[in-house]
Amino acid sequence: MTGIVSFGGYVPRLRLQRKAAATANAWFAPNLMGAAKGERSMANWDEDPITMAVEAGRDCLPGADPLTARAHIDAIFFASTTAPFADRQNAGVIAAALSLPETSGATDIGGSQRAATSALIAALNAVKAGTSKHALVLSSEKRKAKAASSQELSFGDGAAAVEIGSENVIANLLGSAAVTVDFVDHFRGDGEDFDYNWEERWIRDEGYSKIVPRAVKAALAKAGIEASAIDHFVLPCPFAKLDQTIAKQLGIAPEKVRDNLAGTVGDTGAAHPLVMLVHALEQAKPGQKILLAAFGQGCDALIFETTEALASLKRNGISGSLAKRKEETNYLKFLAFNGLVELEKGMRAEKDNKTAQTTAYRRRDMLFGLTGGKCTKCGTAQFPRSRICVNPNCGAVDTQEPYCFAELPAKVLSWSADFLTYSMDPPQHYGMVTFAEGGRFLSDFTDVDRGSFDSGAEVRMVFRIKDFDEKRGFRRYFWKAVPQV
């Protein structure tokens, strides 16, 4: 049996109110007011497809000690059309942040809105063939859209992850199929920030309505089941009720079509098939059949059947992320966080953020995995790891073994809110974080509501962008603390 073993999801806590965006642009595009309902997810300035994928991966692969809890993963597939690096393996950064074994294979997949399902099929085939035993598939997206465009309102940011294996399967693969057609519904050229979109009626009538059924019918035939047996139909689709029309055309009851989360998250692009799949798995019952279809220069279709093991699997998932939300009505902040307006940063921001790649490589377990040390003689944990134990009653030399702090509970020992230091989201919050099992360090705080923070507050660590090297086009990552919700 080959299929999904675990799942996880992540949606940023900020939710831009569509009415705020539409109202700000009403002078130029009054027609947008008709789409000004609900909200869309909005990544913080220090979030990108890599950091969101890390959060989804942590949800999928929980464990107090990542060095052991994730040691079984031997392959990672990362799907995105907005990956930060064009020539640096994005999956490798994610693997390091998740403390996956360095013997794990890593693959980046992009170039299509069905990149996530293509990665999923590749992972399933690898496990089935025996070339991989436990594969992690992640997809994450943070797309830009022009101001006053319909895409600005309909897009959303988010990520999802699934683990593929052959033991303790919660959703068994019954069959899959792929149709590849160079049907151009939109495209984004090399070096371009925004998609160029084709006419909607053409996409609806010649694209979705004709290509999706071909792939679904092929998958149903391989699985040997009738369309009427489907309990959950997952089809990311930007056109209202078209998914129900296609379902009816295939012989699937319209009420089996999954909510596309347009009103609460938005369209997360290449990540959306997995986002919707994870949301479906959260609500599915054992013995149900899930049909997943993803459109993009063709169509991928996969059919899963849930098992009894699903009932005992609990994850934060998409539902948990949806519950942790904060309304955002500042449209200018949204533009700034996405680099759509250039703010005056002031002289304090004028510094060279060049990263010493040699040091970053040598200390990669500390910088990416937040790995410190623990003395095998007295049990004292410390960050960073050093040759000499910091316990004054011990002082043992060369007795420390790697010890990961990323998943450990922590508290704020001291903090400052600095309006003088440059910050993309002022004031800059930083201070001393101390861990329950020992170890402390000076940390940045993020996702902090001004005036709601104090010493003793419980925090968790998250992998975020530390700063940008705009001169060289490099972004540096590290761990920050966020308030526990």
- pLDDT digits 0-9 by tens, 340-360: 998 888 777 778 888 888 999
Residue 280 CB contacts under 8 Å (≥ 6 apart), including other chains: 232, 234, 258, 290
Mind listing the pLDDT tens digit for each residue in 398-413?
Answer: 999 999 999 999 999 9
Fold of the domain built from segment(s) 3-337: Peroxisomal Thiolase; Chain A, domain 1 (3.40.47)
Query: If pLDDT is split at 50, 70 and 90, which confidence band does 422 have?
Result: confident
Burial zone of 336 (CB within 10 Å; 0-12 exposed, 13-18 middle, 19+ buried): middle
| 160 Cβ contact list (under 8 Å, min separation 6) | 7, 8, 9, 10, 56, 116, 138, 139, 140, 271, 274, 275, 277, 278, 318
Q: What was the pLDDT predicted at 146?
A: 95
Rg (CA), the chain: 23
In the chain, where the domains are located: 3-337, 347-370+405-483
CA angle 154, 158, 163 (to 5 degrees): 135
| Residues 285-315: tens digit of each pLDDT | 999 999 999 999 999 999 999 999 999 999 9
DSSP 258: P
Report, as an integer, the average pLDDT of 261-281: 97
Topology (CATH level 3) of domain 347-370+405-483: OB fold (Dihydrolipoamide Acetyltransferase, E2P) (2.40.50)
How many CA atoms does the CB half-sphere of 155 hold within 13 Å?
25
**pLDDT the model gives residue 7:** 98
Render pLDDT for 453-475 as a digit per residue (tens, 0 to 9): 899 999 999 999 999 988 898 99
Strand ranges for 60-213 from DSSP E: 75-79, 105-109, 135-141, 158-165, 171-180, 186-187, 196-197
Region 380-386 average pLDDT? 93
Q: What is the pLDDT of residue 339?
A: 93
Quick one: average pLDDT of 84-113? 96
Neighbours of 263 (CB within 10 A): 12
Q: What's the pLDDT at 430?
A: 95
